Amino acid sequence: MLSISGLRSSAVKTIRQRVMIPASPAEVYEAFVDPKIHAAFTGSPAKGNRRVGSHFAACGGYIDSVHRELTPGKRIVQDWSTTEWPEDAPVSRLELTLTAVTKGTELRMVHSNVPASQAGSYRQGWIDYYWKPLHAYFKEHAETQGAAVRPVRRQPSRRKSR
């Protein structure tokens, strides 16, 4: 059997998920590469920058990644691991593809080379710690922005005519 960095290929899994986010692909992209926005939607510290080859740490350092491909508003590819990663496990590959749809963005995630023993936990973790908070962040943002840009209707003047 093929060996990948000490683990047999059957010891790793691929997680595939698709979610709809109520924001533009450019906004969703920024949420993943801008540490301030990332921290705002996850509720945990993030640091890094948006250059290929640079590190991006999230969830207070629990997640460590390196940007391998960045196509603004379209695609993010990272080498990805956590502090719980088994010592002999390969770094995983995270691929996020963003597509504009009528009500926002379709985000397709492929997370490959995930240790099989942790795949179930990470599968649910993406839902609980990323997709639900990201959806809520943009829904709240849209409501706040929508309220701020709605025109104010002026009441008719009540002056008496002379």
Class of domain 3-143: alpha beta
Full pLDDT tens readout for the chain, 162 residues = 333 344 445 689 999 999 999 999 999 999 999 999 999 999 999 999 999 999 999 999 999 999 999 999 999 999 999 999 998 888 999 999 999 999 999 999 999 999 999 999 999 999 999 999 999 999 988 777 654 333 333 344 444 444
What integer pLDDT is reported at residue 29 of this predicted model? Answer: 97
Structural domain boundaries of the chain?
3-143
CA atoms within 13 A on the CB side of 144: 6
**pLDDT by residue (tens digit) across 24-59?**
999 999 999 999 999 999 999 999 999 999 999 999
What integer pLDDT is reported at residue 89 of this predicted model? Answer: 87
C-beta neighbour count of 38 within 10 angstroms: 23
What integer pLDDT is reported at residue 145 of this predicted model? Answer: 65
What integer pLDDT is reported at residue 144 of this predicted model? Answer: 72
